[in-house]
Amino acid sequence: MRCLLAFVAAISLLTALAVVAVDSAQAQSKTTILKYDKQGRVIGSESSRGSGDQQRGAGSDRSRNTAAPRGGQPGAAGGPNAANPDDRFEPGEVIVANAPADFARDAQALGFRILDATRLGNLGLEIIRLRVPANTTVPDARQTLIREFPGIIADANHLYEPSGTPPASLRSGSLARWTAGWEQAKPSCGRGVKLGMIDGALDTDHVALKGSNVTYKSFNKEGRPPAAHSHGTAVAALLVGQPGNKGWGGLLPGAQLFAGNMFEEKDGQPSGNAVGMVKALDWIIGEKVHAINLSIAGASNKVLELAFKKASLSKVVMVAAAGNWGSADRPAYPAAFDDVVAVTAVGEDRLVYSEANSGAYIDFAAPGVKIWTAVPGGGKYQSGTSFATPFIAVLAALEAVQSKADSTTIRVALAKQSADLGTPGKDNVFGFGLVVAKPSC
């Protein structure tokens, strides 16, 4: 009997140190138990069969919410083995910021062809897009530019994606403000606040956005159609959607929203590039917004890094999704830039979303599992760090209205109003924790 009890105790301990991912779409579901070392790296896994919807936590620092199944948009999910974002870029293109004098002539002599040049006055940048020489890869072309023009800022024209994962099916959920424990808002809540958003196209005819103060502008690459309206509409309605009986009212329905679309249809998938993001950022900075919501994710990029650093000089707060690759070693950008506040997603049980990235760049957690969102033609529940980001963006904007704020001051202010969910202090899963601050309306 003592041996049996010892065996049961050992099994219980192992279970407490595991992260459980469940495919609840099947009656007899397959359970994958990921095991981690002390540094939080995956070192192995086990599979078993169980029944019903199961959720388990693995220690205070690696608890995972498994309510939403794997899948969704390419790259937006897929766990540690998802495609490397560094390898996703416009084929045959490189971009350069603030090139030196005579750059165009000298670059052409090296076999590059100037595609276009864009002056971004609000950011103080000029972005040149080039076609790489024949029979040259994009990484090799970038290295040529760095070698031939010392100190130049050049990179691939990386591709970025919406950071939300539409689930196959969900049975239940809650309204956005209720999910966060906020009181219901009147249509005037947020009046005087100016929000920016860089995302996808909007269904401006959706009833959730009827009566909302939205200025919309698209930054598609010429010749490509805008991507589907689902993700952008969902995020915009979370920010400023009008209260109604369908439950998709926004967090600050009275705020003004400047929405820039950077996404287009590419090979049947929503995709936006670095040039489109920078153009949208320049436009929104010029509108003097208080905070910018960035529910997007992709690779690090030197030109983007400079653009976001320039944007931070205007004292606007930029808030971005932590990414849904389930990765601990592939930070998502722009969230991982120093001047950007990074947000992960948790469910109502305060477990982290199963696909959320982790890393030292994570700042805060917010509701992002089973969020009721507006989509063209109606509404649906969605999960992802995309849908957690608006909760922090609106709180940051309200803080910025009271006094000029930047990423540093916002981190300090919201850290004081956060519930620590992981290991004591800031950790790589929840950051400072779940923000429990509430808006004044």
Of 81, 104, 135, which one is at a domain's C-terminal end?
81
| Structural domain range at position 123 | 85-158
Say if residue 355 is in the same domain as residue 391.
yes
CA 65 to chain CA centroid, Å, is 18
Same domain assignment for residues 254 and 374: yes
pLDDT band at 82 (very low <50, low <70, confident <90, very high): low
DSSP string, 53-88: ------TTTS-EE--SPS-SSTTTS-GGGSPPGGG-
pLDDT digits (tens, 9 = 90+) for 125-134: 999 999 999 9
Residue 261 sits in the same domain as residue 224: yes
From 170-184, 308-322, 335-349, the region with the lowest mean pLDDT: 170-184
Assign residue 204 the CATH number of its domain.
3.40.50.200
pLDDT at 274: 95
Q: Are residues 194 and 328 in the same domain?
A: yes
* Helix (H/G/I), strand (E/B), else coil: 130: strand
Among 120, 142, 158, which residue terminates a domain?
158
Query: Both 131 and 201 in a single domain?
Result: no
pLDDT of residue 164: 58
Q: Residues near 241 by Cβ (< 8 Å), separated by ≥ 6?
A: 208, 209, 212, 248, 249, 250, 253, 374
Among residues 328, 22, 377, the alpha carbon closest in space to that of 205 is found at: 377
* Same domain as 267, residue 202: yes
Length, in residues, of the chain: 441
Asked if residue 52 belongs to a domain, the reply is yes
* DSSP codes, 178-193: HHHTPPPPPTTTTTT-
Which residue is associated with the tokens 């991507």?
A: 227
d(CA 376, CA 312) in angstroms, rounded, equals 33
Task: Tell me what pLDDT residue 221 has.
Answer: 77
Per-residue confidence (pLDDT) for residue 65, from 0 to 100: 59
Same structural domain for residues 66 and 173?
no
Residues 333 and 426 grouped into a single domain:
yes
278/307 same-domain check: yes
Per-residue pLDDT of 345-358, as tens digits, reads 999 999 999 999 99
Question: Are both 324 and 369 inside the same structural domain?
Answer: yes
> Could you tell me the pTM of the whole model?
0.77
Domain assignment of residue 440, yes or no: no
Q: Could you tell me which residue, 14 or 379, shows the higher pLDDT?
A: 379
Based on the structure, what is the number of domains in the chain? 3
- Assess contact for 202 and 271: CB atoms under 8 A: no
Ordered DSSP codes for 152-172: -EEEEEEEEEE--B--S--S-
Is residue 327 located within the same domain as residue 384? yes
SS3 content of the chain, % helix, strand, coil (to 5): 25, 30, 45
What tokens were used for 206?
């959706």
In a domain, 111, yes or no: yes
The residue from 132, 158, 184 where one domain ends is: 158
Residue 4 lies in a domain: no
Evaluate whether residue 7 is within a structural domain. Answer: no
Q: What is the mean pLDDT of residues 243-258?
A: 88
pLDDT at position 22 over 80: no
Let me know if residue 328 belongs to a domain. yes
Return the pLDDT at 69: 33
C-alpha 270/C-alpha 411 separation (Å) is 31
CATH number of the structural domain spanning residue 139: 3.30.70.80
324 within domain boundaries = yes
Are 146 and 170 found together in one domain?
Answer: no
Q: For 370-404, how does the pLDDT look when each residue is reduced to its tens digit (9 = 90+)?
A: 999 999 888 889 999 999 999 999 999 999 998 88
145 domain residue, yes or no: yes
> Going by DSSP bridges, is the β-strand pair 317-321/340-346 parallel, antiparallel, or unpaired?
parallel
pLDDT at 226: 79
Q: At residue 34, does pLDDT exceed 70?
A: no
